[in-house]
Amino acid sequence: MTTKLRAPAKPLEAASPFEMRLNQSGGLSESFVRRSVETGDVGFLHSFTTGSAVDGPGVRLVAWTAGCQWRCRYCHNPDAWFMANGRAVALARAVDELRKYRRGLKVMSGGLTISGGEPLLQDRFVVKLAAAAKAMGIHTAIETNGYRSERLTNADLAQIDLVLLGIKTWGEERHRRLTGKGIGRTLDFARRLAALRLPIWVRFVLVPGLTDEPEIASGIATFAKGLGNVERVEVLPFHQMGRYKWERLGLNYSLHDTPPPSPELVESTCRIFRDAGLKAV
């Protein structure tokens, strides 16, 4: 690939994934983007963040990929929906970034988490970056909705130590209303990971009035418990930190008046998962 990647104004490392980032790829050609996605030699990243204690075990370096085909009503990173908003980063550059933190990540029992957006839109880049991390002895995790997981072979999955799997709600119709897509592929991926004995942490965003019906948590709980490889369920309280992005992007945000869940609601939801025999935090 001969296209020269220009240096964008913002540094690759962001203070937080809540930072708004637009048009970082600077008008790269369609054919370049397509080739990059096919080979995985260049990734499109919103940013890197360091020091995360909430994106997998220990302290994590997180690569936030750009691009997502879902449209979750509560998404706090709508600027990461479009690959063009990501910065084109050569794989070698991303590996260099990883190498800088290698020792610290090991000392802090952490690792690399590749999140998004939806990382499996860039499955070759994700697998190559994860393989480079594994070769350095770094623990690897991906956070995904599982929708494009059929692109990963079992050999690809061997480069990944943990899957943070977003299960957004329960029931096909509810799922389509919330995300714009069906739930089937996410559940199929979970079953496949179970067959491979690859650990899952389920991530469930608790939104008052949207995902707080007890039958939603109990449906997910029964399914997750039946898999046998779910190590924990993370109940993530909804917040409004992404609202300004919806407004600035001129998107139709439907949760203006939705408050975060009360501590009691978070606790009663965690209890549903615990009662099913799962660890819930």
Residue with smaller CB distance to ligand SF4, 80 or 200 = 80
Residue with smaller CB distance to ligand SF4, 25 or 169 = 169
CA atoms of 70 and 87, how far apart (whole Å) = 20
Sheet of strand 60-65: strand arrangement: 87-90, 42-52, 60-65, 111-115, 139-144, 162-166, 200-206, 230-237
Beta strands in 53-170 (DSSP E): 60-65, 87-90, 111-115, 139-144, 162-166
In the complex, least distance from residue 225 CB atom to ligand SF4, rounded to whole angstroms: 23
Residue with smaller CB distance to ligand SF4, 17 or 110 = 17
By CB under 6 A, name the binding residues for ligand SF4.
Answer: 68, 70-72, 75, 77, 80, 116-118, 145, 166, 179
Residue with smaller CB distance to ligand SF4, 77 or 258 = 77
In the complex, least distance from residue 197 CB atom to ligand SF4, rounded to whole angstroms: 25
Residue with smaller CB distance to ligand SF4, 75 or 91 = 75
Burial class (CB in 10 A: 0-12, 13-18, 19+), 169: buried
In the complex, least distance from residue 234 CB atom to ligand SF4, rounded to whole angstroms: 14
Burial class (CB in 10 A: 0-12, 13-18, 19+), 88: buried
In the complex, least distance from residue 168 CB atom to ligand SF4, rounded to whole angstroms: 7
> Kind of pairing, strands 230-237 and 60-65?
unpaired
Amino acid at 141: A
Residue with smaller CB distance to ligand SF4, 31 or 252 = 252
In the complex, least distance from residue 14 CB atom to ligand SF4, rounded to whole angstroms: 16
Q: What is the dihedral of CA 224, 228, 231, 235, to 10 degrees?
A: 10
> Across-strand partners of 161?
none
> Kind of pairing, strands 42-52 and 111-115?
unpaired
In the complex, least distance from residue 145 CB atom to ligand SF4, rounded to whole angstroms: 4
